[in-house]
Structure 1
């Protein structure tokens, strides 16, 4: 067994969680009145939630030094890139459930809150596993390599990924437990119908989003542990990446389908971090095995995202030209 390094004191944990809850409370207040989110509003909040981790990284640099700050920035880039794929699935779920535009941000907020709880559980579990021995790095590396292969195979398929509501186990279970109304009832999850409590379609889509969060947590937590072993930094990167998803969804809603090569990039990133974890485990056994530094990881991840974004936009523009001709 070994102790995981951490920059966080109990006071820092308390302050961070308090700030996180305050930001979530602000989001809930903003979404209390259902409305269709304008692009100006979405861009403003997206810039705010991009500035927050930037400022936080500077604070970490000033208080604790360059190394933890670089680990935070690298982990944040990893989590943010994975969260964009998460957004794509959210978009498919909202379309499949025919969620009214004015309710979309409330669904996303419920999903983000649930994701934060799940990530906290997975992060704590990951820390326990890592404390049991260095073999955990090999385990996490193997998980990421298998996930990378799965993501790459899905990206190679020509057919478009679709969501079929009736095939979702969570939806079938909810329908067995309680009746479901035929229409949305504003932002309410349940209503009284003929003297009996019934679920609204909004409750079904929230559960579906929550179940999707579980799948993404299995991938993202080992990925960020491949960047830093500090549970606090792992939590911070996840929190900052998830907080801005609601606003980012409305900014990227019309361009997410144009990022056709994103999954290839995510497969490369997951495979790279998986190899990094395996090498880190081997380095602990034999010092002659190279240990990939954080700066190199950030460079590889950044370059991969830049390349797949550029190739996606080029392929989309080329297809548009061919279609027009």
Structure 2
């Protein structure tokens, strides 16, 4: 357990330091993030995520202090890894185990990153509906990411505990993901709308706290006559946190289809969430061009859900995590390429 805490603690400290640097560099100036800055930020987070995969590849066994066959077998059974130790060769077996962790992490990262794209559609809509100036987007998103990390940490480890105690819950997750994917496909062309006045989070905040409709620079709270008021900036932050909670209900079970190790789920999930902020600024003005992406995400959820429902049958045919990664990447590439080759026809008005 101490190794897991050291690994986890080191990861969390690194994330806190990076977010502190991010806040210090970008949030104080309250200036819109340029496309160049967004591209650099996105590249940096992707590089960090890939660098972490190398850490797992070379030292992944240190996560659970796996240094002998008994511990290796126990960890494999505990986290349902679809691997078999290589005879009496401990070094080769540990290498196989580390390789498996790495593939599971990368697959989970791709799944979460892909599903986060749908979150961007909603964020754009929220900022527009609440009348938030573009220069404040970054500040709201950074604090939103911090809240998302805490919430997802709770979700992931509670989910892992439930799976360990009730194995059948995987079938519930699978059925839910298939349903969500089918529902997303059916509603793929439906225009989403947000009514700031009637949103349940806004209603709750307005009922129990003082709220002002006026922005006060980049402040989350405004003090007037000694009374503290929530500004629209803080309200949209609350709504984004609530929205992320809803998205987590889909995305976290999806990653559990890839790996049952809660630490690998957490690492892949958090790196993808951290990259979401910079990806938002990179895609905010062009995301409408990828009109087949929702179709791709719908099929992605259906595939992941079906895999959870049929995992025993698929494993008997030699289906491995690397095959899932290939299928997932293929679905995403096809949806993006199709969007570019067959652009959406604009409605012309006379």
TM-score by length of 1: 0.90
Between stretches 188-197 and 38-47, larger displacement belongs to 188-197
Q: How does 1:139-218 map to 2 (within 5 A)?
A: 139-155=172-188, 158-218=189-249
3-state SS of paired residue (1:264): helix
In structure 1, the residue matched to 2:150 is 117
Mapped pair 1:304 → 2:331: yes
- After superposition, the C-alpha distances for 1:215-245 in whole angstroms (9 at most, x for unaligned) are 0110011000001111111000111001122
The whole-number CA distance in structure 2 between the counterparts of 1:174 and 1:134 is 38
Between stretches 227-236 and 256-265, larger displacement belongs to 256-265
Q: CA RMSD in A?
A: 2.1
3-state SS of paired residue (2:223): strand
Between stretches 73-82 and 113-122, larger displacement belongs to 113-122
- Is residue 279–residue 291 contact of structure 1 (8 Å, CA) maintained in 2? no
Mapped pair 1:43 → 2:39: yes
The whole-number CA distance in structure 1 between the counterparts of 2:119 and 2:196 is 18
3-state SS of paired residue (1:134): coil
Shift of residue 116, structure 1, vs aligned partner: 1.0
**Structure 1: 5+ residue stretches without partners:** 1-5
In structure 2, the residue matched to 1:314 is 341
**Structure 2: 5+ residue stretches without partners:** 61-97
3-state SS of paired residue (1:167): coil
Shift of residue 189, structure 1, vs aligned partner: 1.3
Shift of residue 314, structure 1, vs aligned partner: 2.3
Selected match of 1:270 from 278, 301, 311: 301
Mapped pair 1:78 → 2:73: no
In structure 1, the residue matched to 2:138 is 105
- After superposition, the C-alpha distances for 1:71-111 in whole angstroms (9 at most, x for unaligned) are 11111000000111111111110111111111010111122
Q: How does 1:9-28 map to 2 (within 5 A)?
A: 9-28=4-23
Shift of residue 289, structure 1, vs aligned partner: 4.8
- After superposition, the C-alpha distances for 1:231-270 in whole angstroms (9 at most, x for unaligned) are 1110001110011222211111111111111111111111
| Greater relative CO, 1 or 2 (CA 8 Å, sep 6+) | 1
3-state SS of paired residue (1:36): coil
The whole-number CA distance in structure 1 between the counterparts of 2:241 and 2:145 is 8
